Chain A
């Protein structure tokens, strides 16, 4: 097992390097440059040249890339052009917030998705099944940024029970209850689509498992229905559900880009949006690298859990 994990981690390195080259090239190819973004209306060729000199962007592209990767390997991600602070500080500040949001959403979508999937599989074509299917369909179809605004309107503007945006109260606050309180709306919004996906998959997997011989045997042995479903069938169904949750982790990280913007959650997604529009290359590079690394890691984790659940995959 350890060997397998190590091999997977090593395989991630070329992926991350390749990714950083692609991101670097895309950022270089799109028109507009950081000097342009910094100077706005005042971007005369003279001023651009001066700012590029101040930023070290007057060097050739390969030169810039190698300087960057060389520094990254030594743990130096450079300074953000726009924020005037070290990229690593900004990313670390932001990454925690994204992990809290995406992690909560992932937990929510796993719990509710699996529960809903089981409920509708057990009563296939019954009213529970139909209701769950309908709700899930709506959840999957609704764009999450729209749902987010809707929830803000209801809970923050209309009823004033939950805050509209931010991670902590502006004045006072800053403790755990305050965080949870601010977390409810964005986490729920972010979890909705993924919950739908997990629910549908769990339903399909459960339906398949419930038809298998070992379930019939269990029932024939006279085990009560709850034991059959939760101990026997669910464990078998989880084998195909867990990797999907791993993939959902990727979607949740990606979805965080919108949700963080709508809810002003100070995470890495909102940071990337801003950094791309201001051509803050070093910040984009650093942010993408971290998100990609997180994605690789979560998928690895899902694979490991799956192999623990599925005796056929044990090596």
Chain B
């Protein structure tokens, strides 16, 4: 027995000493190398094969598009194209390409590369159209892409389509090397080559993606030697890694941990409002919400300030209408969020004869951009019950949830949580508020809102190429939708990130992309 105890003691001691000896290896990340804690393993490093923000955070540093978003805005500026012209009728875009740019694999960037990219994405019978192209519909208006000369490209659209330039700045519009696609075929996903500030080095499954500085970058070589992206799916583990020094940057800090980092001088917390809207779809076709007054009552009844402050711990701002303020040029400043006014809500319910109405509320467990949906759903339920509505929550896993909400709420539910993140002010209302976007016609208007005036405004705004006119149309649309309340407008997410204090020139973008071209970490 004594021997046994001695044995155990010896093992424990050895393990302790070994751990002590090895602690030298702990955690300091090397200078000039930035280690980024990502929320998941990338799906692919082929920009045409992905749709997740998590992947965009890598891709935007490896590739360039013809255009890009100006720093800190969602407005478009030249990138691989130096300038462009748009035909009178808005259906022809001609781009002059930047001279002297090469891909990381050494092949030249030219009109041929651009034509190859877009034909590969749009033409389903293209020899290199392998795998899925989830965002190819961004360019579904494009009928042809042709090389006018070696450094000029012309896109022809089937109708005027105002979001086209903005879509080109999105990851689906990033330009890949034709030579690399031809060399690697289906495995291009893991052997990417672009023109960006960082060139791909290695991808160790579930461990890391490493990119090195591209010395010949056309816009000036980056200060960092390399960036390492680590997938850490569990949010608690990600926080622990940040606290223990295993990563330099952490994205999507859980609301509960924000204050930990904000109060600690060893870290810097960044926040940036983005083109995101968290709302409830209300079933305007049947049941209590068919009456506009009940929909307005719900907007008055919910204490959005409290949700944003207490549940989301300040990681979002209160939403005033269907368009996020990040689209500053198209945002209607005159609309204030529905105030928290339970008395007004009760009055409206009484007018509509909807006191004590029973409501079914679809809630999801989590999902892209959904911001603590269970806690939010419960708090909203409590607010609605406080004004005399009888709300029953049904909770579903994200993919299941989308599978039942997207086909429409008719016959199933009165309200459902939803969140959208888009790159232009056109996308969300066009896909989710028009009469022609009812689920049976292939849209996302799951609450069946319908107003011909809104339909006309949206159609016009989408085809106009004059930004001032577009802004006016969108502001008018917002005022109507605000008043008629087809949704319960809740929150606009502020994207956040934490870096260690020695990371310099870091900033977040309203596009939710992570741009690391100018970031430095000298020690």
Kindly supply a per-residue 1/0 record for chain B positions 225-261, scoring 1 wherever the CB is within 8 Å of any chain A CB and 0 otherwise: 0001011111011001101111100000000000000
Indicate if B468 sits at the interface (CB-CB under 8 A): no
What's the Cα separation between A163 and B230 when bound, in Å?
14
Indicate if A152 sits at the interface (CB-CB under 8 A): yes
Binds A, one of B18-26, B315-323, B354-362: B18-26
Q: Which residue of A lies closest to B407 (CB)?
A: A45
Cβ–Cβ < 8 Å partners of A97 in chain B = 206
Majority secondary structure of chain A interface residues (helix, strand, loop or mixed): helix
Q: Is the CB of B232 within 8 A of A165?
A: yes
Cβ–Cβ < 8 Å partners of B232 in chain A = 165, 264
Kindly supply a per-residue 1/0 record for chain B positions 254-298, scoring 1 wherever the CB is within 8 Å of any chain A CB and 0 otherwise: 000000000000000000000000000000000000000000000
Q: Is the CB of B207 within 8 A of A39?
A: no
A contact residues, range: 35 or more
Q: Is the CB of B442 within 8 A of A46?
A: yes
Known A119-B4, A178-B25; judge A51-B189 contact (CB<8 A).
no
Q: Is the CB of A42 within 8 A of B134?
A: yes
Q: Which residue of B lies closest to A111 (CB)?
A: B11
Indicate if B331 sits at the interface (CB-CB under 8 A): no
Interface residues of B in 372-412 (CB under 8 A from A): 397-404, 406
Q: Is the CB of A163 within 8 A of B398?
A: no
Cβ–Cβ < 8 Å partners of A263 in chain B = 237
Kindly supply a per-residue 1/0 record for chain A positions 148-186, scoring 1 wherever the CB is within 8 Å of any chain B CB and 0 otherwise: 010011001100111111111111010001100100100
Known A32-B402, A156-B244; judge A170-B208 contact (CB<8 A).
yes
Cβ–Cβ < 8 Å partners of B27 in chain A = 160, 163
| Contact of A42 (CB < 8 Å), options: B22, B25, B51, B237 | B51
| Contact of A41 (CB < 8 Å), options: B22, B41, B230, B420 | B420
Interface residues of A in 194-245 (CB under 8 A from B): 226
Binds B, one of A79-87, A246-254, A304-312: A79-87
User: Shortest distance in angstroms between A116's beta carbon and chain B's nearest beta carbon?
Assistant: 9
Q: Is the CB of A43 within 8 A of B246?
A: no
| Contact of B403 (CB < 8 Å), options: A36, A123, A271 | A36
Q: Is the CB of B134 within 8 A of A38?
A: yes
Cβ–Cβ < 8 Å partners of A90 in chain B = 205
Indicate if B33 sits at the interface (CB-CB under 8 A): yes
What's the Cα separation between A152 and B3 when bound, in Å?
32
Q: Which residue of B lies closest to A148 (CB)?
A: B237
User: Shortest distance in angstroms between B170's beta carbon and chain A's nearest beta carbon?
Assistant: 12
Q: Is the CB of A163 within 8 A of B406?
A: no
What's the Cα separation between A32 and B367 when bound, in Å?
13
What's the Cα separation between A89 and B40 when bound, in Å?
19
What's the Cα separation between A162 and B26 when bound, in Å?
7
| Contact of A162 (CB < 8 Å), options: B19, B132, B134, B406 | B19
User: Shortest distance in angstroms between B242's beta carbon and chain A's nearest beta carbon?
Assistant: 9
What's the Cα separation between A169 and B420 when bound, in Å?
36
Indicate if A71 sits at the interface (CB-CB under 8 A): no
Total contacting residues, chain B, CB less than 8 A: 72
User: Shortest distance in angstroms between A244's beta carbon and chain B's nearest beta carbon?
Assistant: 21
Indicate if B444 sits at the interface (CB-CB under 8 A): yes
Cβ–Cβ < 8 Å partners of B43 in chain A = 82-84
What's the Cα separation between A81 and B241 when bound, in Å?
30
What's the Cα separation between A279 and B401 when bound, in Å?
13
| Contact of B400 (CB < 8 Å), options: A31, A84, A162 | A31
Q: Is the CB of A93 within 8 A of B206?
A: yes
Indicate if A47 sits at the interface (CB-CB under 8 A): yes
Indicate if B49 sits at the interface (CB-CB under 8 A): yes
Q: Is the CB of A170 within 8 A of B131?
A: no
Indicate if A124 sits at the interface (CB-CB under 8 A): no
Q: Which of A36, A45, A264 has the most CB of B within 10 A?
A: A264
Indicate if B351 sits at the interface (CB-CB under 8 A): no
Cβ–Cβ < 8 Å partners of B41 in chain A = 83, 274
Indicate if B44 sits at the interface (CB-CB under 8 A): yes
Indicate if B431 sits at the interface (CB-CB under 8 A): yes
Q: Which of A31, A36, A41, A149 has the most CB of B within 10 A?
A: A41
Q: Is the CB of A119 within 8 A of B237?
A: no
Known A85-B190, A152-B237; judge A115-B246 contact (CB<8 A).
no
Known A93-B206, A165-B246, A184-B19; judge A39-B400 contact (CB<8 A).
no
Known A123-B1, A171-B35, A277-B398; judge A161-B205 contact (CB<8 A).
no
Indicate if A287 sits at the interface (CB-CB under 8 A): no
Cβ–Cβ < 8 Å partners of A36 in chain B = 399, 402-403
What's the Cα separation between A43 and B418 when bound, in Å?
14
Q: Is the CB of A274 within 8 A of B134?
A: no
Indicate if A270 sits at the interface (CB-CB under 8 A): yes
Known A38-B132, A43-B402, A165-B237; judge A171-B25 contact (CB<8 A).
no
Q: Which residue of A lies closest to B188 (CB)?
A: A84
User: Shortest distance in angstroms between A90's beta carbon and chain B's nearest beta carbon?
Assistant: 7
Known A81-B132, A85-B189; judge A94-B206 contact (CB<8 A).
yes
| Contact of A277 (CB < 8 Å), options: B1, B208, B399, B443 | B399
Cβ–Cβ < 8 Å partners of A152 in chain B = 236-237, 240
What's the Cα separation between A157 and B228 when bound, in Å?
21
Q: Is the CB of A165 within 8 A of B1?
A: no
User: Shortest distance in angstroms between B197's beta carbon and chain A's nearest beta carbon?
Assistant: 20
Q: Which residue of B lies closest to A38 (CB)?
A: B134
Q: Is the CB of A170 within 8 A of B402?
A: no
| Contact of B243 (CB < 8 Å), options: A42, A53, A157 | A157
Q: Is the CB of A51 within 8 A of B132?
A: yes
Interface residues of B in 156-191 (CB under 8 A from A): 186-187, 189-190
Cβ–Cβ < 8 Å partners of A173 in chain B = 25
Q: Is the CB of B205 within 8 A of A93?
A: yes
Q: Is the CB of B132 within 8 A of A55?
A: yes
Cβ–Cβ < 8 Å partners of A83 in chain B = 41, 43-44
Indicate if B30 sits at the interface (CB-CB under 8 A): yes
Q: Which residue of B lies closest to A52 (CB)?
A: B132
| Contact of A160 (CB < 8 Å), options: B231, B244, B404 | B244
Indicate if B417 sits at the interface (CB-CB under 8 A): no
Cβ–Cβ < 8 Å partners of A41 in chain B = 368, 420-421, 444
Q: Which residue of B lies closest to A92 (CB)?
A: B205
Indicate if A1 sits at the interface (CB-CB under 8 A): no
Known A93-B206, A266-B207, A274-B40; judge A122-B241 contact (CB<8 A).
no
Q: Is the CB of B20 within 8 A of A39?
A: no
| List of 8 A-B pairs having minimum Cβ-Cβ separation, nearest first | A32-B399, A266-B206, A31-B403, A84-B189, A31-B400, A164-B240, A84-B44, A32-B403
Binding site for B on A (CB under 8 A): 30-33, 36-47, 50-51, 53-55, 79, 81-85, 90, 93-94, 97, 115, 118-119, 122-123, 128, 149, 152-153, 156-157, 160-171, 173, 177-178, 181, 184, 226, 261-264, 266, 270-271, 274, 277-279
Binding site for A on B (CB under 8 A): 1, 3-4, 7-8, 15, 19-20, 22-23, 25-27, 29-30, 33, 35, 40-41, 43-44, 46, 49, 51-52, 124, 131-137, 186-187, 189-190, 205-208, 228, 230-234, 236-237, 240-241, 243-247, 368, 397-404, 406, 420-421, 431, 442-444
A-B contact pairs, 8 of them (CB 8 A): A31-B400, A31-B403, A40-B402, A83-B43, A160-B27, A161-B20, A169-B25, A177-B22
A50-B124, A163-B27 known, 17 other contacts, Cβ within 8 Å: A30-B400, A32-B398, A32-B399, A42-B51, A42-B134, A54-B124, A54-B132, A79-B131, A84-B131, A153-B240, A163-B246, A165-B232, A167-B207, A168-B207, A170-B29, A262-B237, A266-B206
